[in-house]
Each structure stands twice: as C-alpha cells, then as structure tokens.
Structure 1
Amino acid sequence: MRDLIHKLPNVQMRPAIVLLVLSICVLIIAIGMKPVTNYANSASDLENNIPKEFADWKLAPQLIPQVSLVSDNNLQNQIYDDVLMRTYINKSGAKVMLALAYVKEQRQDVKVHQPDICYPAQGYQLLQSQLSTFDIATNQSPIVGKNQIYISSSHREAVSYWIRVGDGAFLSGLQMRLKIIKDGLFKQRFDDGMLVRVSSELQSDADTEKLFNLHEQFLNDLTSSVTAKNLKLLVPAAI
C-alpha cells in the first residue's frame, strides 16, 4: 500500500484551484452567451397563410412533380418545420411552381438546403447559374438570390430562389453558418430560415429571360398579397 501511495502523482492545490475557477468562469460565460430568443415570433402555417389566389394567379394542377426540397426525401420532415409546394397559373396560361421550406431554428448542423445541392442529387444537371437581385416592392433593397437552368432526362427547368436566414439573404452554406454563429453570440438569438424557390418548365432557350422575369413578377405579386407577419417569413428586412 505504501508503494502504491508513492506512485500516485502529487497534486498541487494552487494550479488545481486556478483551473477549477477558470472552468467555472468559462461555464458562466457560455451560459450567459447562449441564445435565449428566436427571430421567429410566430408559427409559420404556410398552408393557411400563403394565399391560394392572388393578383393574376390561382392554383393549378401539379402536372410536373416538383424537385424535392432535400437530397433525400426521408429527411424532409426531419429538417423542416413547415413545407409548401404548389403550382400557380395566370390568365395568360403561364405556370409557376412554388416551393417554400421553413426552419424555425437554424443551427450550424441544420440549414436550409440549396437547390444547387438538391437538383443534382435528384438527377438534374446544372446548365446555367447566375447571381440575381430580386426587386421586391415590399422590401427596402433588392434581395440577393440566383437564377438557374437545370436539365433532366425528361425536361428543363428555369429556377429562381433566395434563402433568408434571420434578417438577411445568403448564397452559401458558409455565409449561413457565419450568420448563425454571429447572431447566436452577439444577439443571443436563434435565427430561423426560409427557402423561397420558384420554377417553370423551360421549352426553349429563347424563353429563359422571359421566365426569369415571370418569376420576379410572381414573387412580387406573392409578397404583396400576404400580411406583414407572413411577409417577414418570406423576405429579409421587410418593411
């Protein structure tokens, strides 16, 4: 027993106490900086809060299956708190597919999925991608997003989208992650997130610009038709 005691390391009390105090201080700071509020202050309920008819648009049959909002359909209900997928048609016969995906608390490991990932994962090839600024009448400044063209074995699609995280719009996973960390640390706030995606079947290259303009008009009509509370879900910095 005496030999065993001699083999035990000598513990210096002063360094141990300093380490204990530092650990307690770090724990207190971590608790103090933990997010305590949510950017979202109400339920989304997209099915009831997004109108089925507005401006020149009304619901139409879903003839073309929409591309899933995630790369694996089994994950959709695990990732998103609310999802809406509809097709609208206007009096001229033009059709637009709308897809909304909402996350109440955007954490570092749970982010809204970009079409750049979901479309290729479901067999589509990206033909064109460009940054776009959507001039939305209800917003103080244009919203940054993307206009894209995808092709599959059966058809081509023109896609326009933006992703809102908290009070901003972002184009990459890194930008979203940095936003989440920044607001969590300095604003003690959990950001929510929303993917706003519209798409249309593309018949010919000559229709590309026309469809992108149609998408912007559709998004303007949509955001002008919802209440201020629901507008905050769709766009950053709504006024």
Structure 2
Amino acid sequence: MKNKTLGTVLFALMASTAAITYAVAPTAKMADKRAKFDLDTGVPRNFGDWKVDPMVVPLQVDPDTQTRLNRIYNQTLSRTYMNSRGERVMLSIAYGGDQSDNMGVHKPEVCYAAQGFGIRDVKSAEVATDQGALPVRQLLAVAGARSEPITYWITIGDTITRPGFDQRLQELKIGLTGQVPDGMLVRVSSIDTDASRAYALQGEFIRALVGNLPAPDRARLIGASANLAPNS
C-alpha cells in the first residue's frame, strides 16, 4: 500500500510538472549555449591500455531505424576498442541537441529488440570511477549464439541519469527554465556469455575512458562531477 501511494504521488508530480512545462513552452536550445563538442575528435582513439580495433564494427541498425536516429541525433560514434589482453569492448555514443518530447533518446532495449535480440536481466547498477559513481543500466541482449551484455547511461544537460523516471525528471527540470535540453546516450558492450565478467570489463573500460578525458569533454559524457554520488 505504501509503494502504491508513493507511486501515485510521483505520477501526480510528473503530471503537474509536465503541465507547467507545457505552459512555459521552452524554445531556447541548451545546445546553442554550450561549447561545441565533436565526438570523433573528443573521444580518444587510444587511452590507457585501450586502442581502437578497426577490424570489428559494433552492431549496425537497419535502414529504417537509422533514418529515425538521424532525425534524433546530431552526432553518433561507433568504435571497437581492444586492450593488451586481446579483450574487446564496443563503444557507441549518440548526441542530440534537442531532447524534448518529440526527440527522445533511443535506448538499447528498443534498438536491440528491433534487430531481433531478446532482452534479459535489465537492472540498475553503478560504475565506480575516480569522479564518483556513475548510475547506469545494464542488460543482456541475446540473438542466437550472440550474447552481448550492455552497460549504458544518458546525460541530460549537465546531469547523468538512468533512463525512465530520472531521465524524464531531469528533462522537466530543464524545461522549467525555458530551455530545450540536449542529451547523450553512451553505450558500452562486449560479446560474452558470462555477463558478470563482461560488466567487470566494461567497468574497467569506462574508468579508463572517463579518467583520460579532459574535464570539459568528460563532463559532456558523464555530466558534472558535482552531480555524481560518492563511490559505494
């Protein structure tokens, strides 16, 4: 009963906030006031123990899905990295300058399902970094013999969020300021039938990536450090 009451309160809060946001009718794009960021040059091809492996390309979407993504995102990046142990991790990033209601970010649960993958074991998690704990979502995408554990997160403006309520709340907060938020989806995945091992490797990769970025570029990928929780 308590959980039901809490859910009702949260729903009412979101509904009322949405109504206010609609009334404010934000039109100024946050992206227009921010420093320009180029994914291809801003994300290093080599860092720590990782370097780009040009021989392996991350999952490609079908033409119809790609057309929709082109309408949503201003920039996309897909690379595969390899470490000195021969382990590979795939990185996909998509940035959109308009993350209003009409331009929602494209979650892996939707993207992979559209490619015929079964989605399993979706859960919230955290990745410890020197900048703080990153709130992420993890899931397993399976198609035939291909098993692909995935870790991903979304940044809305200067704040990292998990998809769903946290993401929507951040969009509404920015909307109340009269601005249209920008957003970025960062997806890290690897091919492995052992999901726990894959998530550990992905955490290692994420720590190396964000730790080797200049502060302004790091903030675009994981939000402002002040918004991160301390490591558990």
Provide runs of 4+ in structure 1 moved above 6 Å. Answer: none
Q: How does 1:87-98 map to 2 (within 5 A)?
A: 87-98=80-91
Q: Distance in 2 between matches of 1:79 and 1:35?
A: 17
Q: How does 1:86-125 map to 2 (within 5 A)?
A: 86-125=79-118
Is the CA contact 2:29–2:98 (under 8 Å) kept in the aligned structure 1?
no
The secondary structure found in structure 1 opposite 2:191 is strand
Q: How does 1:149-228 map to 2 (within 5 A)?
A: 149-185=140-176, 187-202=177-192, 204=193, 207-228=194-215
2:198 aligned partner, one-letter code = L
Is the CA contact 2:134–2:160 (under 8 Å) kept in the aligned structure 1?
yes
Q: Distance in 1 between matches of 2:167 and 2:64?
A: 18
Pick the aligned partner of 1:72 from 58, 62, 65.
65
Q: Percent identity?
A: 30
For residue 168 of structure 1, report the CA deviation from its aligned partner.
2.6
Question: Deviation digits for residues 10-31 of structure 1, max 9, x if unmatched?
Answer: xxxxxxxxxxxxxxxxxxxx67
2:209 aligned partner, one-letter code = L
For residue 67 of structure 1, report the CA deviation from its aligned partner.
4.4
Instruction: State the partner residue of 2:52.
Output: 59
The secondary structure found in structure 1 opposite 2:136 is strand
Q: What TM-score do the two structures reach when normalised by structure 2?
A: 0.79
For residue 238 of structure 1, report the CA deviation from its aligned partner.
2.7
The secondary structure found in structure 2 opposite 1:144 is strand
1:136 aligned partner, one-letter code = T
Q: Distance in 2 between matches of 1:119 and 1:172?
A: 16
Instruction: Give structure 2 stretches of 5+ with no counterpart.
Output: 1-22, 227-232
The secondary structure found in structure 2 opposite 1:233 is helix
2:215 aligned partner, one-letter code = A
Q: Does 1:38 align with 2:30?
A: yes
Q: What TM-score do the two structures reach when normalised by structure 1?
A: 0.77
Is the CA contact 1:164–1:195 (under 8 Å) kept in the aligned structure 2?
yes
Instruction: Give structure 1 stretches of 5+ with no counterpart.
Output: 1-29
Larger Rg: 1
- Count of equivalent residues: 203
Q: Which moves more between the two structures, 154-163 or 48-57?
A: 154-163
Pick the aligned partner of 1:236 from 223, 226, 230.
223
RMSD after superposition: 2.3
Q: Which moves more between the two structures, 116-125 or 159-168?
A: 159-168
